[in-house]
């Protein structure tokens, strides 16, 4: 038998009748999404910013002259719309990089933010270039954030840096490479259509889906063909970004050529970061060489990924 419970004397407790005691809040545990890790409160956050218009994609154009095509023959123009529209994820990511600088200028690295925007490429340049027309930037210039004048100066400087390092796209649409072999020409056309349909820096899982579904040896050869310096910038940058997903000697050799020969900052930075992720000695050698440059921050990041001692020495100097 269970022992009888003692009766409680209400007068012995401090709780008086009529007083409500709140229970401890329930702990709710669920899986955290990638957006949660990015500290984004809602996936469709930009839909709530209805006072911001989407950025234009034809703000800056490269001159038509000064580029000659050598080597492979050119085929027909791609059928995809040109230039591709700015996807929502790249709009928000580029926008968020600026917002972090706007809200916490003393906690965010200015040079690292710029390097990230350069790696995103043309979409980031369009977003930052168009921010001057957006209400969030106007609010900053009107004094709704701390040190509004500094925020305005920073935005103008970012626009100049990105216009120089990223640049615009040529007015002409990309053209597929051609080949005397009908099957090869068909595959080159397929690759061009996929590469011209969007931006490799986006998280769109369907981007270049047909190209990426080809056998690895076949797909990477097509990407290598479009990773040449005379290729249309949109195809070139996307091809180099996708090559970074192939941990093969063929892809690594092509990326090393880009790092050593390319004059395009976006393409070179993407190849640089891909080699670092794969632990390439070429990336380490290039990073050590760039430590002497005016802006060694990308090199420091690469050396950190490679766990190279040269990075420790540089970090100590910067600190």
Express each pLDDT in 203-238 by its tens digit: 888 889 999 888 888 999 999 999 987 789 999 999
Nearest to 94 by CA among 148, 134, 153: 134
Portion of the chain with pLDDT greater than 90, in percent:
21
Position 5 pLDDT exceeds 80: no
Residue with more model confidence, 215 or 279 = 215
| Strand partners for 127 | none
Residues 83 and 161 in one domain: yes
* Per-residue pLDDT at 235: 95
Express each pLDDT in 81-97 by its tens digit: 998 988 888 888 888 88
CB atoms within 10 A of CB 87: 17
Residues 168 and 179 in one domain: no
Name which of 127-131, 173-177, 216-220, 256-260 the model is least confident about: 127-131
The domain in which residue 48 lies consists of 34-64+79-173
* Per-residue pLDDT at 68: 39
Residue 43: inside a domain, yes or no?
yes
Residues 106 and 202 in one domain: no
Q: Bin 208: left if φ > 0, else alpha if -120 < ψ < 50, else beta.
A: left
Name which of 45-59, 75-89, 138-152, 203-217 the model is least confident about: 45-59
- Per-residue pLDDT band at 77 (split at 50, 70, 90): confident
* Per-residue pLDDT at 142: 55
Domain boundary at 158, 173, 188, which? 173
Residues 50 and 168 in one domain: yes
Residues 237 and 248 in one domain: yes
Cα→Cα distances 122→172, 220, 315, Å: 16, 23, 30
**8 A C-beta contact, residue 84 and residue 201:** no
Residues 168 and 219 in one domain: no
CA distance linking residue 24 with residue 3, whole number of Å: 30
* Per-residue pLDDT at 110: 82
- Per-residue pLDDT band at 132 (split at 50, 70, 90): low
* Per-residue pLDDT at 293: 61
- Per-residue pLDDT band at 143 (split at 50, 70, 90): low
Residues 164 and 39 in one domain: yes
Position 23 pLDDT exceeds 60: no
Position 137 pLDDT exceeds 70: no
For the chain, the average pLDDT equals 75
Q: Taking residues 65-79, report their average pLDDT.
A: 62
Name which of 21-30, 177-186, 282-291 the model is least confident about: 21-30
* Per-residue pLDDT at 59: 52
Name which of 44-53, 95-104, 110-119, 191-200 the model is least confident about: 44-53
CB atoms within 10 A of CB 175: 19
Domain boundary at 123, 151, 173, which? 173
* Per-residue pLDDT at 173: 92
Residues 135 and 188 in one domain: no
Domain boundary at 143, 173, 203, which? 173
Residues 166 and 39 in one domain: yes
* Per-residue pLDDT at 187: 94
Name which of 4-13, 15-24, 308-317 the model is least confident about: 15-24
**8 A C-beta contact, residue 108 and residue 168:** no
CA distance linking residue 213 with residue 50, whole number of Å: 37
Residues 180 and 156 in one domain: no
Position 198 pLDDT exceeds 90: yes
Q: How many domains does the chain have?
A: 2
- Per-residue pLDDT band at 273 (split at 50, 70, 90): confident
């Amino acid at each position: 038998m269970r022992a009888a419970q003692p009766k409680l004397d209400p007068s012995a407790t401090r709780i008086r009748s009529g007083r409500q005691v709140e229970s401890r809040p329930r702990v709710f545990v669920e899986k955290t999404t990638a957006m949660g890790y990015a500290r984004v409160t809602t996936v469709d956050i930009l839909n709530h910013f209805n006072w911001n218009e989407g950025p234009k994609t034809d703000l800056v154009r490269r001159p038509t002259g000064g580029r000659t095509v050598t080597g492979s023959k050119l085929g027909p123009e791609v059928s995809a719309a040109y230039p591709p529209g700015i996807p929502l994820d790249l709009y928000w990511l580029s926008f968020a990089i600026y917002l972090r600088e706007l809200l916490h200028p003393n906690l965010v690295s200015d040079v690292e933010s710029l390097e990230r925007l350069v790696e995103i490429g043309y979409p980031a340049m369009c977003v930052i270039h168009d921010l001057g027309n957006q209400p969030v930037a106007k609010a900053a210039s009107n004094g709704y954030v701390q040190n509004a004048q500094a925020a305005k100066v920073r935005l103008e400087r970012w626009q100049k840096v990105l216009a120089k390092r990223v640049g615009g796209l040529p007015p002409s649409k990309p053209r597929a490479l051609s080949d005397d072999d009908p099957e090869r020409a068909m595959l080159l056309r397929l690759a061009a259509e996929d590469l011209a349909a969007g931006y490799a820096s986006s998280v769109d899982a369907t981007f270049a889906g047909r190209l990426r579904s080809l056998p690895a040896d076949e797909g990477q050869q097509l990407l290598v063909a479009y990773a040449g310096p005379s290729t249309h910038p949109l195809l070139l940058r996307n091809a180099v970004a996708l090559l970074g997903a192939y941990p093969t000697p063929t892809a690594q050799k092509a990326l090393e050529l880009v790092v050593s020969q390319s004059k395009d900052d976006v393409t070179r930075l993407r190849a640089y970061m891909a080699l670092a992720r794969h632990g390439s000695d070429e990336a380490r050698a290039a990073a050590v060489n760039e430590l002497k440059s005016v802006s060694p921050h990308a090199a420091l990041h690469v050396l950190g990924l490679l766990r190279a001692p040269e990075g420790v020495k540089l970090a100590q100097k910067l600190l």
